[in-house]
Structure 1
Amino acid sequence: MEKEKLKDFAAIVMEAQRGELVFPTSVNGALSLQLCLADPACHDEDVIRKLLAEPVLAARAVALANSAVFRSNGAALATSVRVAVMRLGYRNLYSLASAMVVRQFGARIADPALRAKAEQLWRYTAHVAALAYVIAQRITKIDADTALFAGIMHEVAGFYLLGRADTIPGLLDDPDEWMGAAQEIIAREIMKKLQVPEPVAIAIVALRGGAIGIPPQGLRDTLLLARQLSPVPSPLPYTEDLALTRTPALTLYLNEPAVAALLNEAADQAKSMSAALLV
């Protein structure tokens, strides 16, 4: 039985290396929207039409447009997809479509335990993505749209493997079998298929075992800090690493009055934003 499980996992890794990843058919609408958004000839009317064809995605776009981060300075409540498109912009809509793709990997899991893990992983991912966005704005001063996208994508391999484990019982029972190089291969190949830009993919792959710089800088540190501050823990075992160890230096930095004030504001904004992603 153990040999069969290892054989199954090796087959999944080989599929990934050959680019033969198994994507659920339910992501086709989101992938179509991504292609449209990436096309320089794409027009607002095309985007609106594709969003309206995907009711769940349309609802999330409107909800995100009404979150505290995007509804600032007394902006009116967004009540249509058209207003949401104007307010969010193409890059954030692309991230929203990516969120639907990632989420759908675990949407049809039948096993109750695996499904519960997938649901918790999505709650965790939504919080990390939202925190990454506001941390990028307030702390690390990097492009916030990129941070949001990276936060959504950073556990894509975990979602994929949970979905595959639903049809291969016991696949993920031993973390030592799928953590490390094998998980990295799968993550890289999924991100390649989803056309994740290389700088984002590199930052995501570098998360495992990484330590947050003091002060935090760049995309990797932004994601690491967002993971550290997420109110929802990841259900996957490989998050119990150096990245989530609150060192004395990090504790001292986080307790600095100016930093603590910024992070408190970030947490409030992220709460509203993550709720929109969880619609």
Structure 2
Amino acid sequence: MSRAATPCLSASLAASPATGGNAGALPGATCAFDLLSEIARELRPGVIFPICFDALLRVRQTLRAPEVTLQQLAGAVRVDPLLCARLLRRANRLRPALPVTGLRDAIAQLGGERSRHIASTVSGCQIGCARQLTHVDALSRRLWLHTLRTAAAAYVIAQRLTPIDPDEAMTAALLHDIGAFYLLDRLARHPQAAHEQGGVEALILEWHETIGEALLQSLGLPVVLIDAMRDHEQPRSAPVLLRSLADIVFLANVLAGGATELYGDPVCHVSQRPEPIRERFAELLPDIEREFAALRGVTIDDIRPDPRRP
């Protein structure tokens, strides 16, 4: 299972117009293709990478408290997509016959003590990685805030407009850009690969969906969560009726700015333009902002208005 994702990513690399020699040891990689090929070979359930400093600080502060409720633990873990994925993996190994698709249910299945131990172990390893990535703090934080805003939008959309479990929707949204964080970690350590392909953001935009899907597959997460994040940046007809978790994640990602605001990417399909979607769901925006604030651990009064948003 730990290598199940490799063929998927390898096939995508084989179809890429990029060309490079055989990938050797990672420190010697000289182009983006070599680096991506190496990533395809190294994906495994135990892979560690940081999300951003703010997320790591929030988790560590919570874990240091002598007494932590399940609600507080869930609130801390929700700010870190890798922790979410690792807890889901462990919960599903305990109950393989009935997939666990929401973080709340995963923590309930594992129990507070075991969940806290997993979170402490993973976040402790992330600290060592994060020390080497301070030069990309601004981009990692932007990715992180986009992830939290997408998760907040998914939660509210599911709660208000569908019968889908809001916690499942939020969890799927928290995982939707996990490949971007993993790729940022690798590119930050090998800047030449990104330079050859037009910069870190351009390479992340092109490859984060494929790498994220492969990573979630390597972790053995439920198919419904993987399907929900697949091709979430690709043009499609904006769903009128929200029938699936994938519909919710797609719309939540657009509401949170999508590639247009996150990467400054011009879009050619109306379904990917944030403003029409925000107009369509205008009545949900205040609730989304409240959930976004809650995920960040701040009150709504502490948030400065964003002039780009209605």
**Is TM (by shorter chain) over 0.5?**
yes
Matched, 1:197 2:218: no
For residue 266 of structure 1, what is the aligned residue in structure 2?
A: 287
Which digits, 9 at most, give the CA deviation of each residue in 1:220-255, with x for residues without a partner?
22122222333798875386534531475x46633x
C-alpha change, 1:109 and 1:226, in structure 2 (3 Å) is farther
For residue 5 of structure 2, what is the aligned residue in structure 1?
A: none
For residue 280 of structure 2, what is the aligned residue in structure 1?
A: 253
Matched, 1:229 2:283: no
The one-letter code matched in structure 1 to 2:35 is: I
C-alpha change, 1:123 and 1:232, in structure 2 (3 Å) is farther
Matched, 1:157 2:179: yes
Matched, 1:166 2:182: no
Matched, 1:138 2:138: no
Q: Distance in 2 between matches of 1:192 and 1:204?
A: 12
C-alpha change, 1:214 and 1:20, in structure 2 (3 Å) is closer
1:204 deviates by 1.3
Secondary structure of 2:216's counterpart equals helix
Identity of aligned residues (%): 20
The one-letter code matched in structure 2 to 1:275 is: R
Which digits, 9 at most, give the CA deviation of each residue in 1:119-153, with x for residues without a partner?
22111111211221121111243232221111111
Taking CA–CA contacts closer than 8 Å with sequence separation of 6 or more, which of the two structures ends up with the larger relative contact order?
Answer: 1
C-alpha change, 1:245 and 1:12, in structure 2 (3 Å) is same
The one-letter code matched in structure 1 to 2:272 is: L
Matched, 1:23 2:47: yes
Give the alignment of 1:69-218 within 5 angstroms.
104=126, 108=130, 110-173=132-195, 174=198, 179-180=205-206, 182-211=207-236, 212-218=238-244
1:275 deviates by 1.9
Aligned residue-pair number: 225
Which digits, 9 at most, give the CA deviation of each residue in 1:22-63, with x for residues without a partner?
822889987774454221399969622224446xx58xxxxx
Out of 140-149 and 121-130, give the one that drifted further: 140-149
| TM-score normalized by the length of structure 1 | 0.61
Q: Distance in 2 between matches of 1:161 and 1:106?
A: 17
Secondary structure of 1:162's counterpart equals helix
Q: Distance in 2 between matches of 1:153 and 1:43?
A: 16
Instruction: Say if 1:129 and 1:226, in contact at 8 Å, map to a contact too.
Output: yes
Instruction: Say if 2:233 and 2:259, in contact at 8 Å, map to a contact too.
Output: no
1:271 deviates by 2.8
Q: Distance in 2 between matches of 1:36 and 1:154?
A: 19
C-alpha change, 1:155 and 1:18, in structure 2 (3 Å) is same
Q: Distance in 2 between matches of 1:104 and 1:6?
A: 24
| TM-score normalized by the length of structure 2 | 0.56
For residue 67 of structure 2, what is the aligned residue in structure 1?
A: none
C-alpha change, 1:115 and 1:234, in structure 2 (3 Å) is farther
Point out where structure 1 has 5 or more consecutive residues left out of the alignment. Answer: 59-96, 255-259
Point out where structure 2 has 5 or more consecutive residues left out of the alignment. Answer: 1-18, 22-27, 51-79, 97-105, 299-310
Q: Distance in 2 between matches of 1:34 and 1:251?
A: 31
